[in-house]
Amino acid sequence: MSAHENEEKMILDVKDLHASVEGSPILNGMNLSLKPGEVHAIMGPNGSGKSTFANVLAGREDYTVEKGSVRYRDLDLLDLDPEERACEGIFLAFQYPVSIPGISNAYFLRSALNAVRRYKEEPEVDAVDFLQLVRSKMELVGMDEKLLQRSVNDGFSGGEKKRNEILQMAVLDPKLAILDETDSGLDIDALRIVAEGVNALRGGDRSFIVVTHYQRLLDYIVPDHVHVLSEGQIVRSGDKTLAHELEREGYSWLESGHAAEKSQEAS
């Protein structure tokens, strides 16, 4: 394979993706291509399908893929179980991280890391090496070490939960990270810390999909491309200035735009 081909190779190629939940269509022909190392923001009003898209990529079974394809590196992503996707380098930072009483954060993280390592046929990490690794990553996201011994997200504040997501990302070292409304429920200080954590993980071949309603997060995590999602389709794409435009104009133009399109179709 030539260097040129390698450069052009997509890490993610979504084609005409249709997905529904309990019979109602949410994604209606989504197209998106990411090159390695790129950061794409997906914006859009509530109900436009942003979170659905993020969750479909991670393999949540509540959604049914009706049509289309998702190519991830050399793999047919839709063929893989959620855990296989994770092991292949996909990471979803949850909008609402689940709390799991009774499982310590440390045990959870080590189980996850070792599951990924087993998949890659790498030796498992023992408790001592793990602690060393996780400590360095905790520094990155400014997380209190005490949270390691606490149950996963149990009694964590909103900011702690989101930081915990970024910590998991740092430990699992994914190739494609999807941030699902990571800014929701965060004050500006927490937002900055989380964004700094993400920025520290940028670089190299790691790609990001940043799903957000507000432009605010994109001041800190500056995207290469911005896409606007409406009614399950990308209706506009641009560079980072598009986010600022949206910030000024809101999403109301979408409604009128779509209405215009629809009336054209009807005529």
Partner 1 sequence: MSTGTVDHWNPNLEEQCSGLHAACESLEARRKHGLNQFLEAGFPGRKDEEWRYTPLRSVAEGEYSSKLSVEGQLPGDDELATSSDIRLVLINGRFREDLSDLTALPDTVKVVGLSRSLETSADSVVTDLNRWIPLVDHPFQNIGDALLEDGLVITAEGNVDARIHIVHGQDGSESAGSSHVSGLIRLSGGAQLEVLEEFRSRGKSLANIRWGMEIGSGCEFRRQRIVRPGCDVLYHGTRVELGEKAVFRDLIAGSGARLVRNEIHAILAGPGGHVDLLGGYVSNGDEIVDHHTTIEHAVADCTSREIYRGVLGGDSRGAFTGMIHVHQDAQRTDAEQSNDAILLSRSAEMNTRPRLEIYADDVKCTHGATVGELDDDSIFYLRSRGVSLEEARRMLVRAFTAEVFEELENEALKEQFIEQLQEAMPTAVDLRQ
Instruction: Give contact residues for partner 1 (rule: CB under 8 A).
Output: 58-62, 81-83, 85-87, 91-92, 94, 97-98, 100-103, 108, 111-113, 115-116, 119, 151, 168, 172
**Dist. CA 213–CA 54, nearest whole Å:** 13
Smallest distance, partner 1 to C-beta of residue 120, A: 10
**Dist. CA 69–CA 212, nearest whole Å:** 23
Q: At what angle do helices 158-172 and 127-141 cross, to 10 degrees?
A: 130
Smallest distance, partner 1 to C-beta of residue 118, A: 9
C-alpha dihedral over 244, 249, 254, 256, to 10 degrees?
A: -160
Cβ distance 102 to 152 under 8 Å? Answer: no
Cβ distance 19 to 64 under 8 Å? Answer: yes
Smallest distance, partner 1 to C-beta of residue 232, A: 22
Question: What letter would DSSP give residue 161?
Answer: H
In the complex with partner 1, the residue whose CB is nearer, 132 or 149, is 149
Smallest distance, partner 1 to C-beta of residue 84, A: 9
Do β-strands 207-212 and 176-180 pair in parallel, antiparallel, or remain unpaired? Answer: parallel
In the complex with partner 1, the residue whose CB is nearer, 76 or 81, is 81
In the complex with partner 1, the residue whose CB is nearer, 87 or 186, is 87
In the complex with partner 1, the residue whose CB is nearer, 154 or 224, is 154
Smallest distance, partner 1 to C-beta of residue 115, A: 4
Question: What 3-state DSSP class applies to 64?
Answer: strand
